[in-house]
Structure 1
Amino acid sequence: MKIELLQPKPFDLVSDTILLAGNAVAFEGTLSISVTEGHDEITSFTMVGGTSIQQFQGRIEIPTDAAFQLNRLFVTVSDDTAGGGESPPPMVTVPVFYGPGILPDYLGYREYDVRRGDTLAALAQRFYGDGGQFGVIQAANAHIIEDPNRIFPGQLLRIPVAG
């Protein structure tokens, strides 16, 4: 049995509602969903029909009182009911960035194409009115920005937006 998670993709920037989509076969038609960062875990489930590979969609809501301490989460979809003695059960885990853990009142993000002469501090000044907020942009793009002093023309950055 196999689970293919198409959404979210690795390193997506997610909100309090995480939408899931993919293809799977589930023994009893139920897929378990968990979201964790090692300190807290939120769980849910979604349904998938049939004994052949079927598309599934689901969602998991992150409550406002979630005790996440990190802005990097792991979304896991598994078939805990799988028969046949498989150990561990079929599962897939995808790392994502948690927008509300990066920027309070996170609503989403805009994309920005880095131009020659741009710096994270200048972008933070432009979008947040405070060059010291460059860490917000760096955290939302940690998969492509290793050093906050080095961004390159042509990089497509996600600029988190608050409400």
Structure 2
Amino acid sequence: MSIHVEQPAAYDLVGNIIQVAGVAGGAFEATFGYRVHDGHDEVTGSFLAGDGTGGHGQFQFTVDVTGAAFQLDRLYVDVFHASPNNGAELDKVVVPVVFGPKIVPGYQAYLEHVVVAGETLWSIATKYYGSGNFYHRLVAANPVTVPNPNVIHPGDVIRVPQGT
């Protein structure tokens, strides 16, 4: 049995509709489960991949998390095969993602901003949001690029979440 999740990638910025895709196989009756959660709420379901006799196949599905009461801007997408014996989650893959609607009200998409010499997160937030006070949105949306909000470098690509 194996599961390979190709989408979303780790720390992708996602909205209320999350696309999940990859390759899986070897599960009993070709049935796999998924969970999108933040530790406070979760959305669960199942999908089919492979042929149920060991063959592998592609999968793609969407998860609508609009009704979830997530409290955090960091979500986890779990994909797994449930054991027919005891229900244990086998071969589980966990992908951390950033939940845009918790960062910017009405999140729809993000822009990419290439940092130039002399810029700060405060100045970038002022440019896009009208106030440097919103720099925390940039920090939340870029956990890999901006592990320290006091340090950004020319050439860094900063995701700038956009709302309605």
TM-score by length of 2: 0.91
Instruction: Show structure 1 runs of 4+ deviating over 6 A.
Output: none
Percent identical residues: 39
Q: Which amino acid aligns with 1:19?
A: Q
- Structure-to-structure mapping, 1:78-89, within 5 angstroms: 78-80=80-82, 82=83, 88-89=89-90
1:45 to 1:152, Cα distance in 2 relative to 1, 3 A: same
Q: Tell me the distance in 2 between the aligned counterparts of 1:113 and 1:27.
A: 47
2:80/2:90 contact within 8 Å kept: yes
1:33/1:60 contact within 8 Å kept: no
In the other structure, the counterpart of 2:59 is: 56
2:80/2:89 contact within 8 Å kept: no
In the other structure, the counterpart of 1:126 is: 127
In the other structure, the counterpart of 1:159 is: 160
Point out where structure 1 has 5 or more consecutive residues left out of the alignment: none
In the other structure, the counterpart of 2:4 is: 4
Point out where structure 2 has 5 or more consecutive residues left out of the alignment: none
Describe the SS at the equivalent of 1:56.
strand
Q: Which amino acid aligns with 2:65?
A: I
Q: Tell me the distance in 1 between the aligned counterparts of 2:88 and 2:45.
A: 21
TM-score by length of 1: 0.92
RMSD: 1.7
